[in-house]
Structure 1
């Protein structure tokens, strides 16, 4: 048994939301998947405000509920529109954060959009820019992947990424978190109930 099989690996991702949720500051689904090596051992559902400022807090809540997390995976540093997740703040709940970039962000366009819509645009943009500027390309068995590592040094990140690429280039904890959040949030009844209840 390799040491990778002992690692507790989490992925957190957001779900779908209708466009009008932005103006109304409504919430969508946030899902977390916890793996021990390649074995799914836990799932968590929470909520997050579209274009809000509770992203970091919500992701932290999921990670803390898992207990020990060695590495947490994120798809970029935004959830639910431009709700920012600060990977450095997540180190309160895990040893390392790996931010995966499926697409290269166009920072000039991101900055322009933030300036237009948010009073606190600079704080949001600083997290996006700072995290992306620390990114590097890692070779994996599927394809080269651009990632940013925050926290403890992950030995042989390419090996870890490849180990978790079971059916696509996305690490399995992140892929499953995305699948769960997307599936649940596509249910209009669930989204409606989510926005009538107290945030969870």
Structure 2
């Protein structure tokens, strides 16, 4: 099937890169389906959709830690979703001024460190441009706006899910930055 895809495209590609991409897409879709199934069972579909959209919007630009195996990735993704839903109720009980301060710190961290590229990615080792950092910061800012919108329309539970999701993304970014920095130093 892989050969047919390459032939159909009319371009030469590295088969390993395409195979890796297909596996990543398959595992991502499987993780999403598992989360959506669990969300339906737990009657938390709306919060789960918000969580998944936040990850799509923000994590894809910021980057972060990647598990070493596809199963590890699925397990971490599902655990992070479960944690975000569970702790979102606690987030909304914390004073909003605290969150404003935290989000200012997050913004500084994102502009300084994002995007984090995984060593297996084709772009690993590239120089990160100011434009890429600003794009990551802009995506984060969209997340902040959504939190404020949800807060003001009295959907604090959605705001809490976004708060937790963004917090998890920032933690993943910092862990990934540290791990991949060490990887880069060992490979030189």
Q: Normalization by structure 2: what TM-score?
A: 0.29
Larger-Rg structure: 2
The structure where strand makes up a greater share of residues is 1
The structure where helix makes up a greater share of residues is 2
Q: Which has the higher contact order (CA 8 A, sep 6+)?
A: 2
